[in-house]
Structure 1
Amino acid sequence: MRLGVQLGYSGEGFASAVDEVVEFEKAGVDLVVVPEAYSFDAVSQLGYLAARTRAMDLASGVMQLYTRTPTLTAMTAAGLDHVSGGRFNLGLGASGPQVIEGFHGVRYDAPIARTREIVEICRRVWRRETLTFDGGHYRIPLPGDYAKPLKLINHPVRPRVPILLAAMGPRNVALAAEIAEGWQALWLDPRSAARVFGESLADGRSRRDPALPPLDVSVPVPFVLGDPGPDLLARHRAQLALYLGGMGARGRNFSNDLVRRYGYAEEATRIQDLYLSGRRAEAIAAVPGDLVTATSLAGRPDDVRRGLDALAEAGVTTVLASPLAPTRAERVAQMAELRALLP
């Protein structure tokens, strides 16, 4: 099992966070993942991290597939792989209509079909093929007198950058298992993983190209050794409330749908109702403690080891920890301890 660190949305503390990532690398952390959503872009931050780190892998978590052309996505991934010396992993996701249509002004449609086409276009670009593509959603080059098929000028460090697809729904998860090097999960409850995701993973793997490596399954988890205290886990509870209640419209919230599949249908409805009516404190309080515990790693070393074993049993191969200890020294020390606890 690999150990990664999941950064928060960038802000004034980014330079300090990168200083901490450098220490995490020395402590044995294998991977750093940078989110995007509607914060600062992930690409500029990943370039900065490429210059500050030496061995750890870098990944976007995730770049939205609607907001860049497929070819630009491929060029950007090849560029990040170049400046990092072959350490970049392209995390891609469809995000949701609230962000794509509400912030970017781009129509959110056909996420699965678009994902499949973008992955194929990226891989053709990295192989330096003269690019032609006639898909259901992308046509390259466009018809006309001036369009000309081209290939990437530069020679990529690798002819195939690993692609990690973020997915929660059954068809998206199946697609990740079929065509991607990795699947980025979210809010994984290991007790329900086989029931909720098993059929989709088996379906995708049945069509998986044998040339692909075994599917890497990564999951973000808040992490603290020792008694986490109510304040630390309250941050995780608040984030769950935000995603279940506010990251999507009523009837189109993928995180809310996922938690319903875990068995929290009534709770998911109540959290969303409270959050969308502006009663955020009540929405946070309504998040089930059992869900908070199941989707985090907190407690004494033996507790954390049991949590890691449960994740491994659920098929997780990369843990993306978000350390919650109050000081940098404690966070770095605890990540080193977590590294030693990995199965």
Structure 2
Amino acid sequence: MTYRLGVLDGDGIGPEIVPAAVRVLDAGLAATGADPVEWVPLPVGAAAIETHGSALPDVTVETLDKLDGWLLGPHDSASYPAEHRARLNPSGFLRKHFDLFANIRPARAFEGTPALVPGLDLVVVRENTEGFYADRSTYRGTGEFMPTKDVAIAMGIFTRPAIERIARQACELALRRGRHLTIVHKANVLRTTTGFFLEICREVAADYPQLDVDDFHIDAMTVHLVRHGADFDVLVTENMFGDILSDLTGELAGSLGIAPSINASYDRAMAQAAHGSAPDIAGHGLANPTAMIASGAMLLDWLGASEAADLVNQGLRATVAGGTRTADLGGTASTSEFAEAVIGALA
């Protein structure tokens, strides 16, 4: 079947890496004989503020509701005008609006690159709708409030249904990988909230006797990842812990520029690189498109085009192993040169 996928370039390096990803994904689909994708460009970010008066116009959200999935480039909401900074950023809004509860973030070292943890190959499975990110955990408002000018309070929300579904996603993923699941929490201090998360994850994991299940406190987990990250397979954790850990594991693998992710519900998915918009290098052709390309490959795999997804990932690894790399990986290739090299590796 022909999939209809949205293309949202975003800010900063987004207009460079997202089109590069589209070109590579098209090449991967063509090389495997799959039906081509119908790409649907949609406004988002600073450019959308100029043209539509909103960083995420209604027309974008309404169109996404009719699509099979989409690529979202990074946003630089910190640079938006004040009235737009006060709103939920485009990524956060879309995750919440479409209930994209599973944020899947692989971290795998590339052969021949200066990875801080050689051999790292794990996935962070992050609950994406509640926890300690208060902007996504309540029906209305931000989940943050100030009873006086000197007191700020944020709510952390943990519910059984949300924990059960992310735990099941993590268990299913671990079954397809190394059959090792690690639950990350802070139950020794945050007993009622992350203790609840730990308890329910254990309950769900009991349905998967094939898995080796362990758990670590979040602070200890950072140490274990730095010292022997290659020993881990699938990590499942709450929203904020997952965000922090996935940035750490991306760098341990070699660079945030190679850290992909997908945000998924049961019926739709959004591909989004784990890194930010890097406005300091925007427009110079220096950005590494690997994370965006690999995120797109994750989307293809989620849609069922697994052969094309596998080929794209093989092309990425072959390109890097062959010495074509962007500056963050010690090379000299531009964004477009790297993408063309990957396309060449797919032939």
The reply to whether TM is greater than 0.5 is no
Q: Compare relative contact order (CA 8 Å, sep 6+) and give the higher one, 1 or 2.
A: 2
TM-score of the superposed pair, with normalisation by structure 2: 0.28
